[in-house]
Amino acid sequence: MPCYLFTWHAYASWMPDRPQGYVRKGRGVLPPDQVEAKRYRARQKEDEARFDETAQRLLIEECIATADFRDFRLHGVATESTHVHVLISWRDERPFAKLCRGLRESLSRRLNSSLRRRWLAKDGSRKRVLNDAHYAYLMNRYLPKHSGWKWREGVGYYR
């Protein structure tokens, strides 16, 4: 059964000049880069997005609703003002890209119902869960360390 951790950043919230560095698809985490940050900002279509408490709860609510609609198991969700992590699994042969795209569309629609703007960065990330130990780490250490609202299967919402 495929199990993945999907991550989406709030639009323009993780720029290349972040002190912790930034992520570039296919290249991983890169050191801070002022020149690249200027290029990113020149291409920005809107101001930076942030997920306040209301948006964090909307993201979680939509993950729960989408799990039933798109027939996947939602294990956990963790939010921050700058990003959301969603841990899911499914039993059929659908490719991860189809589920990732559908979930992102659902999250964007839900946020846009409150305030029309660009909420999510174009591409998210996905990490395949490798084994039971990796899953346990994600559920018990990685997701809970986030400071925003969280949701966990069998537990519900928590901070």
User: Would residue 37 count as lying in a domain?
Assistant: no
User: Would residue 81 count as lying in a domain?
Assistant: yes
CATH code, domain with 81: 3.30.70.1290
User: Would residue 23 count as lying in a domain?
Assistant: no
Query: Which pLDDT belongs to residue 7?
Result: 96
Query: pTM for the whole thing?
Result: 0.87
Query: Which pLDDT belongs to residue 115?
Result: 67
- At 79-118, the pLDDT tens digits run 999 999 999 999 999 999 999 999 999 999 999 887 667 7
Amino acid symbol at 16: P
Model confidence at 130, pLDDT cuts 50, 70, 90, reads very high
- Domain around 109: 3-12+48-158
User: Would residue 124 count as lying in a domain?
Assistant: yes
Q: Which residues of 102-139 are buried (b: 16+ CB within 10 A; e: fewer)?
A: ebbebbeebbeeeeeebbbbeebbeeebeeeeebeebb
Query: Which pLDDT belongs to residue 124?
Result: 85
The total domain count for the chain is 1
- At 30-89, the pLDDT tens digits run 999 999 999 999 999 999 999 999 999 999 999 999 999 999 999 999 999 999 999 999
